[in-house]
C-alpha cells in the first residue's frame, strides 16, 4: 500500500520567493560560464556591509593591548636576566664546593671556608667506610647455651611461610595460633568460593530438614514463623518473634495481651487526670475573671486580693485537689477602749516618767503668726481663688477635735493634779499625753 503523503503547509508567497531565488542563481551561473569561456577574469564584488554593533570595540582597547604586549616583553626580559644570574651563581657555588678557585685572593673574598668543608666531608666518608669494614670483620656473636631445655631457641616456619625463631616452651602456643589462623582462612575461602549449585544444594538440605521437623510436630495451626525460613526482610521494631511451640507461644501471647491492657489503662488514667486538671484550672480562671470585674468595697477588697494571691500561688505550683471552703463568720468584733480608773474623766493620764516634761508641739499653731498677715496686698492671689465650695465635713471635724483637745489642755494647766508639784507652764506648750488624747478623740 502506498503511504499517504504528508501535506505541506506552503503558501503561494513562499513559492514565488523560491522561484525568484532559483531564477537569480541560474542567471548568475550563466554569466560566470560565459565569462570563463571568453577568458575574462572574474572579480568578486566587495559588499560593503554595515558594521554590526557587536563588532564595534570600545575606545582605547587597541592602545591597552599594545601596552600589555610591551609590558609582557619587559617582564620576560627581567625573568631571563634573573634566571641567567641564578645559573651563574649555581655554577660558581659548585666550583667553590669542589675547591676550584683561580687564586688565594678570590678564596679570601668569601666568608665561608669551603676548603675546611671539603676536608670535613672527606673525613666523614672515611669514618663511615672504616665503621662498615669493622662491622664486616667482626664475627657473629654466639648464642649463650640455655640453662633449661625449654629455653632453647628453635627455628620454625609459620602458616604464612615466614621463618621465625622462638623458645621451645613458646613453640606449641605459636603453632596452635597458626593452625587457628589457617583454619579461619580455609573457611573463608570455602565461603567465598562456593558455586551457585553448591549454595542451592545447601538450601535444599536445610529445607528438607525443616520439613521433616514439621512432619514430626502434631497437626495444628500454621503461623508466620513456620514459613518464614531464612527471610532477609527486616520486620521493624513492632515485630515480635513468637515461639513455634504452641504452649510457649500461648504464654507469650498472654503476656503481650496483659502488657497491652496495662498500657491502655495507664493511657486512660493519664487522659482523665489531664481533663480533671484542665477543668480545675478553668474554674480557677473563671473565679479570677469574676473577681476582676467586681469593684473593691472596704475590707472585702483586701480579702479578695489575698484570695487572688493564694490562687495565683496555687496556679504556679500546680492544680491541688479542692478542699471545703470555710464558712465566713458574720460576727463583728467590738473594739472596747478602756480608760484607767485613777484618771479623772476628760483629763489625760500622765505617766510617772512623763511628769515635769514640757512639749512644744502647740507652739507653731498658737505663738506663730500667720504669714498671710505679713504679706502685702499687691502680692496676694486674686480673690476668685477663694470663692470655691465650702470645706468638707472631715476638715470641720478635725478642727472641732483640735479645739476640744486645746480646751482640755487649758483646763489641765489651770487645775493641776494634787500629787504633782506645780510648775510654771507656758500657754504655747503641750505634753505627750495631750497629743495622745487628741489622736484618740480624732479616731
Q: What confidence category does residue 267 fall into, taking pLDDT thresholds of 50, 70 and 90? A: very high
Q: Considering the domain boundaries, does residue 38 fall inside one?
A: no
pLDDT at 370: 80
List the beta strands (DSSP E) in 292-406: none
Tell whether 306 is covered by a domain: yes
From CA 404, how far away is CA 406, in angstroms rounded? Answer: 5
Separation between Cα atoms, residue 32 and residue 34, nearest integer Å: 5
| 81 is a domain residue | no
Q: Does residue 29 sit within a domain?
A: no
**pLDDT score recorded for residue 293:** 86
Are 133 and 178 in a shared domain? no
Q: pLDDT value at position 278?
A: 96
pLDDT at 21 over 80: yes
* Residue 280 reports pLDDT greater than 90: yes
Pairing of strands 163-167, 153-157: antiparallel
State the angle between helix axes of 393-414 and 432-442 in degrees (0 to 180), rounded to the nearest 10. 150
What confidence tens digit (pLDDT) does each residue in 349-381 have? 677 788 777 665 555 555 667 888 888 888 888
Total domains in the fold of the chain:
4
Domain co-membership, 440 together with 353: yes
C-beta of residue 269 within 8 angstroms of C-beta of residue 243:
no
Q: How far from 353 is each of 61, 167, 362, 431, CA to CA, in Å? A: 116, 114, 21, 12
In this structure, the answer to whether residues 121 and 158 fall within a common structural domain is no
Q: Are residues 308 and 363 in the same domain?
A: no
Q: What is the pLDDT of residue 187?
A: 60
Return the axis-axis angle of helices 246-293 and 299-317, rounded to nearest 10°.
Answer: 160
Is the same domain home to 410 and 349?
yes
Please, what's the largest Cα pairwise distance for the chain? 174
Question: Percent of the chain having pLDDT more than 90?
Answer: 19
- Please indicate, yes or no, if residue 395 is contained in any of the structural domains: yes
420 has pLDDT over 90 = no
Q: 107 versus 208: which is more confidently predicted?
A: 208
**Do 396 and 435 fall within a single domain?**
yes
Domain shared by 394 and 435, yes or no: yes
- Residues 310, 403, single domain; the answer is no
Co-location of 354 and 405 in the same domain: yes
- Considering only residues 185 and 60, tell me which one the structure prediction assigns the higher pLDDT: 60
pLDDT for 316 beyond 50: no
On the question of pLDDT at 190 being above 60, the answer is: no
Greater pLDDT, 138 or 70: 70
- Confidence at residue 237, expressed as pLDDT on a 0 to 100 scale: 81
Least confident interval from 11-25, 68-82, 240-254, 401-415: 401-415
Q: In this structure, are 349 and 443 located in the same domain?
A: yes
Q: Do 350 and 408 share a domain, yes or no?
A: yes
Q: Residue 407 pLDDT > 90, yes or no?
A: no
User: What is the DSSP code string of 258-295?
Assistant: HHHHHHHHHHHHHHHHHHHHHHHHHHHHHHHHHHHHSP
**Most confidently modeled range among 111-125, 266-280, 319-333, 399-413:** 266-280
Q: What is the pLDDT of the chain when averaged over all its residues? A: 75
Range in 18-27, 50-59, 165-174, 199-208 with the lowest mean pLDDT: 50-59
Please say if the pLDDT value at position 348 is more than 50.
yes
Please give the average per-residue pLDDT across 328-334, as a whole number.
Answer: 52
pLDDT in tens, 44-56: 555 556 667 777 7
Answer yes or no: is 17 within a domain.
Answer: no
346 φ/ψ angles, rounded to the nearest 5 degrees = 85, -5
How far apart, in whole angstroms, are the C-alpha atoms of residue 348 and residue 412? 9
Domain assignment present for residue 172? The answer is: yes
Residue 296: domain span: 276-317
If you average pLDDT over residues 245-267, what whole number do you get? 91
pLDDT, one tens digit per residue, over 58-86 is: 778 888 989 999 999 999 999 999 999 99
Q: In this model, does residue 276 exceed pLDDT 90?
A: yes
> Domain for residue 334, yes or no?
no
**Is residue 366 domain-shared with residue 313, that is, in the same domain?**
no
Cβ pair 428, 362 in contact under 8 A: yes
DSSP state of 110: S
pTM here? 0.24
- 47-56, 71-80, 225-234, 334-343: lowest mean pLDDT where? 334-343
Amino acid at each position: 500500500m502506498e503511504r499517504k503523503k504528508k501535506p505541506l503547509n506552503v503558501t503561494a508567497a513562499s513559492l514565488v520567493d523560491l522561484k525568484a531565488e532559483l531564477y537569480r542563481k541560474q542567471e548568475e551561473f550563466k554569466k560566470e560560464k560565459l565569462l570563463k569561456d571568453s577568458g575574462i577574469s572574474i572579480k568578486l564584488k566587495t559588499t560593503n556591509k554595515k558594521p554590526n554593533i557587536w563588532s564595534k570595540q570600545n575606545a582605547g582597547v587597541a592602545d591597552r593591548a599594545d601596552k600589555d604586549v610591551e609590558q609582557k616583553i619587559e617582564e620576560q626580559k627581567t625573568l631571563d636576566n634573573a634566571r641567567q644570574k641564578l645559573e651563574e651563581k649555581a655554577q660558581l657555588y659548585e666550583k667553590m664546593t669542589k675547591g676550584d678557585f683561580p687564586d688565594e685572593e678570590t678564596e679570601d673574598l668569601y666568608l665561608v671556608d669551603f676548603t675546611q668543608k671539603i676536608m670535613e666531608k672527606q673525613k666523614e666518608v672515611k669514618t663511615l667506610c672504616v665503621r662498615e669494614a669493622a662491622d664486616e670483620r667482626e664475627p657473629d656473636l654466639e648464642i649463650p647455651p640455655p640453662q633449661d631445655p625449654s629455653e632453647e631457641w628453635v627455628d620454625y616456619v609459620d602458616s604464612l611461610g615466614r621463618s621465625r625463631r622462638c623458645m621451645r616452651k613458646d613453640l606449641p602456643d605459636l603453632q596452635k595460633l597458626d593452625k587457628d589462623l589457617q583454619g579461619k582462612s580455609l573457611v573463608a575461602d570455602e565461603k567465598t568460593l562456593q558455586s551457585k549449585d553448591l549454595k542451592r544444594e545447601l538450601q535444599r538440605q536445610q529445607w528438607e530438614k525443616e520439613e521433616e521437623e514439621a512432619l514430626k510436630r502434631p497437626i495444628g495451626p500454621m503461623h508466620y514463623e513456620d514459613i518464614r525460613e531464612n527471610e532477609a526482610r527486616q520486620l521493624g521494631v513492632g515485630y515480635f518473634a513468637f515461639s513455634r511451640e504452641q504452649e510457649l507461644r500461648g504464654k507469650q501471647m498472654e503476656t503481650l495481651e496483659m502488657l497491652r491492657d496495662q498500657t491502655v489503662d495507664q493511657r486512660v488514667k493519664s487522659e482523665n487526670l489531664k481533663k480533671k486538671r484542665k477543668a480545675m484550672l478553668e474554674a480557677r480562671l473563671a473565679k479570677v475573671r469574676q473577681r476582676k470585674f467586681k469593684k473593691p468595697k472596704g475590707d472585702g477588697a483586701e480579702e479578695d486580693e489575698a484570695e487572688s494571691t493564694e490562687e495565683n500561688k496555687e496556679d504556679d505550683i500546680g492544680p491541688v485537689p479542692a478542699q471545703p471552703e470555710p464558712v465566713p463568720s458574720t460576727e463583728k468584733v467590738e473594739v472596747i477602749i478602756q480608760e484607767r480608773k485613777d484618771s479623772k474623766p476628760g483629763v489625760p493620764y500622765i505617766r510617772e516618767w512623763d511628769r515635769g516634761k514640757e512639749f512644744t508641739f502647740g507652739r507653731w499653731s498658737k505663738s506663730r503668726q500667720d504669714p498671710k498677715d505679713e504679706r502685702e496686698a499687691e502680692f496676694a492671689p486674686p480673690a476668685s481663688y477663694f470663692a470655691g465650695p465650702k470645706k468638707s465635713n472631715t476638715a470641720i471635724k478635725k478642727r472641732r477635735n483640735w479645739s476640744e483637745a486645746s480646751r482640755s489642755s487649758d483646763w489641765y494647766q489651770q487645775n493641776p493634779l494634787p500629787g504633782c508639784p506645780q510648775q510654771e507652764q507656758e500657754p504655747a506648750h503641750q505634753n505627750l499625753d495631750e497629743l495622745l488624747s487628741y489622736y484618740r478623740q480624732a479616731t
